Structure 1
């Protein structure tokens, strides 16, 4: 059997075609040189770098009310003061806290403390990192103190500024105590006891006339000027059981009308409330206070 020679390449004068885009991409993928990230999107490494930059920028922002001292709340009141201050100092140790940690035994300041740091940046980092840390079973609430502590002022501004700061702080403290309403009330009571004057009695709230319990005496109000007992008798005697009519010389717009019993008084009250005794002015009729 005759051997068949392999086909020979046909020679042409045309140059070879360049590889298509798809063939180039496939070749690059095989070589490991292609970026598989879709167009318009960042790679995973780029996204992580951007996120890191955003977190860093956010961490550098310090609130406008920031200072070197933090105010701690919601501390466990059952823990003794020396223990809580030592624990707080150890807890904030990575942020270089300054001695002493301030905590008070009085009732008003229980569960609260103040701790200072060398600078505002350290205080801000400590505030963010330790916020709501569960210390002795209670999450710590942290905010910046309203003013700078004595230790910070003395360290950063010197003795002269410290003396001014301390004097101003003590004056503000005295003013707050002086203006405290509870303190003012206690002082007024003590002064009244010393002088023998009776303390001012708190005004008791009275039940409105419309809701008073029934009785045999009616209280008449809003009488027109010039109303006499005879005028009232003429109006009220049409109802059975009238006993007496009493006017008040000092206050001519009121009067009392008495009946034999509650039932007779009730009938007259219901009939004559808002009655215009002079044709214009409505008189108010209620039960009298006992």
Structure 2
């Protein structure tokens, strides 16, 4: 089972790994469930581990509330990663996540029983998913999928709508902070402008192509192939003839490239020869 990790997300279709130490409802529409979840707050970090500002909910529930998720990961990729990660503890009935300002960085994972939810919380607490340790607790409300199974969905829905109305009147997260007038956009910006151009390599969004840096000048393409093909989804290595210190590695999808990135970032080819692995810029 997962320990206090530092690595990569699990891959759909791959055999369940021992999870290396590495691998977090719209306001205009009714949230599918758990609208009474704790308000999204930035947890305090202690030794790299997030500590919630309020006590975690320990009242058993069939749904797990997940927070401190990486908001930069695409929503479909995040939901697939969570489903694949949590299904080792039981049948995952539903995964709910949204990108709106109130719910981003959070998700809900519904199991058929409380035992599965409890085991998932115990085993995956502070598990690092996409470079952020998750914070897990029992959801404070019943999920839609459970309400439908229990036969009380209509009453559940009415309560949810009432709560949604109350929540909509609350200030948005960060609304108390001062705002700044956006600078006027440059009209002479080049047509090939890349919005990710100024993002540091370590914070680039997921990509199925990895960018390798700090490679030894003596490295060969075959050596890199042997190193990266150990991870599922490997397609090819592309080297730059005029600059052997960098290369590109392509995988079938972003989940698979994320595993290889997390496992091989910092791989040493010798003294002072640690390879840097990041997602390629799109």
What is the TM-score with the length of structure 1 in the denominator? 0.38
Higher relative contact order (CA 8 A, sep 6+): 2
The structure having more radius of gyration, on CA atoms, is 1
What is the TM-score with the length of structure 2 in the denominator? 0.39
